[in-house]
Structure 1
Amino acid sequence: MYFAALLARTEDGWEASDTELDDVETLADLADLAREVSTEDDTVLVLIEQEDAWFGVVRLDGEDDPRIYVSDAAAAARSSYGEILLTDELLGRDPGDDVADLDSLDLDGTEDGAGGDSEEDDEDGEPADAVPHSPLGDGAILDDLGVGEKELRALDAEDALGAIAEALGASEVLETVR
């Protein structure tokens, strides 16, 4: 189960709104959606979680490029919403690099049933372009809002959004849309 909310900072504090991501296909779409709730180019946070698996934070400050943090990149890569956040830049890939199509993988996890050993595997036997089972992105995304990188990385996916909202002083407004 997914939950997504927008938190917009205003003169009066944080305002929350739940959001549907069904029509969002790219990070640019998500940024446009977030900017629609912003008044006067204030900070907007997009908080996304998949129950007990991963969470993500996208931060927009005015017209600046979005900043992204994902708690478990590999788990997010298996999610349609997570794929929106895992841009080529975030993954350290050149745009247009050929990445194995997950739909073409056989049950053994290899493309078209081919053997698991490949020249492109790293020393752990993982594909060289595999998405890591670790946090990815800007760990300092919330530093100036009271959640340091160390605290952000230590959050458990189960209660991360609540902990972030509490640190921001926005737990009540987030709970109203949850």
Structure 2
Amino acid sequence: MYFTALLARTDDGWEASDTELDDVESLDELAELARDAAPDDETVLVCIEQEGAWFGLVRVDGEDDPRVYVSDAARAMRSAYGEILLTDELLGRRPEDDAMLDGLADLADDAGDAGDAEDGDGDGGAVAAASEDDADDGTGGQDVPRGPLGDPGLLADLGIDAGTVRTLTPDDALSEIADALGCAEVLEAVR
């Protein structure tokens, strides 16, 4: 089960609203959704929690690039919401890496077809089998690290240091963050 909320800082404190992310397909779209919730380019935190598995935070300050923290990247990658947060940039990938990998996969497929036709041995089949094993790891064949990923210091100026963020567990992270920000009641009201 998922819980998603926006926490927007205002002159009167923090305001919380639950939000539906089903129509959001990218981090840029999520950042625009957050900006729309913020009066006067104030700070907005997008909070995403998958019960007992992982949590993610996105901080949007005006037109600045969003800052992201995910408690467990491998688990988040198995989620549609997690895929929004785990951009190529955050994962340290370059777009040309995907093109190169696609080209290598095509070569392996061609080699497998040629090997099967020539001698039935199919050396390319071993490459294809390895690729299938990689795809079955639940991360779509992509190398995603287990554990936290992103900027754990994204809340430091709000009184929550990076060390504290790293020690939060998925079951109570959002409640602890809201408590430290002084908005636990408003977050619980939308939960």
- Structure 1 residue 96: deviation in Å? 4.8
1:156 and 2:169 matched? yes
- Residue by residue, what CA displacement relative to the aligned partner does 1:29-62 show, whole Å, maximum 9, x if unpaired? 1011111110000000000010000000000011
**Residue-pair matches, total:** 161
TM-score (norm 2): 0.78
Match of 1:174 in 2: 187
Find the aligned partners of 2:161 and 2:142 in 1 and give their Cα distance: 29
1:114 and 2:159 matched? no
Match of 2:144 in 1: 131
> Where in structure 2 are there 5+ consecutive unaligned residues?
103-125, 135-140
Where do 4+ consecutive residues of structure 1 move more than 6 Å?
none
- Residue by residue, what CA displacement relative to the aligned partner does 1:74-108 show, whole Å, maximum 9, x if unpaired? 000000000000000000000253278xxxxxxxx
Contact 1:4 1:19 in 2 (8 A): yes
Match of 1:123 in 2: none
Task: Find the residue that maps to 2:97 and give its secondary structure.
Answer: coil
Contact 1:89 1:95 in 2 (8 A): no
Find the aligned partners of 2:142 and 2:159 in 1 and give their Cα distance: 34
Task: Find the residue that maps to 1:97 and give its secondary structure.
Answer: helix
Find the aligned partners of 1:13 and 1:74 in 2 and give their Cα distance: 34
- Residue by residue, what CA displacement relative to the aligned partner does 1:114-159 show, whole Å, maximum 9, x if unpaired? 047x9x9xxxxxxx95111110001100001111111000001111
Which residue identity does 2:14 align to in structure 1? Answer: W
TM-score (norm 1): 0.84
Distance 1:83 1:146, change over 3 A: same
Find the aligned partners of 1:155 and 1:135 in 2 and give their Cα distance: 11
Q: Taking every aligned residue pair, what percent have the same amino acid on both sides?
A: 65
- Structure 1 residue 27: deviation in Å? 0.5
Alpha-carbon RMSD across the aligned residues, in angstroms, is 2.5
1:61-72 equivalences under 5 Å are 61-72=61-72
Find the aligned partners of 1:115 and 1:18 in 2 and give their Cα distance: 42
Find the aligned partners of 1:114 and 1:158 in 2 and give their Cα distance: 37
Task: Find the residue that maps to 2:147 and give its secondary structure.
Answer: coil
* Structure showing greater Rg: 2
Distance 1:80 1:143, change over 3 A: same
Match of 1:107 in 2: none
Task: Find the residue that maps to 1:84 and give its secondary structure.
Answer: helix
Find the aligned partners of 2:6 and 2:164 in 1 and give their Cα distance: 21
Which residue identity does 2:69 align to in structure 1? Answer: Y
Instruction: Give the structure with the higher percent helix.
Output: 2
Which residue identity does 2:31 align to in structure 1? Answer: A
Match of 2:14 in 1: 14
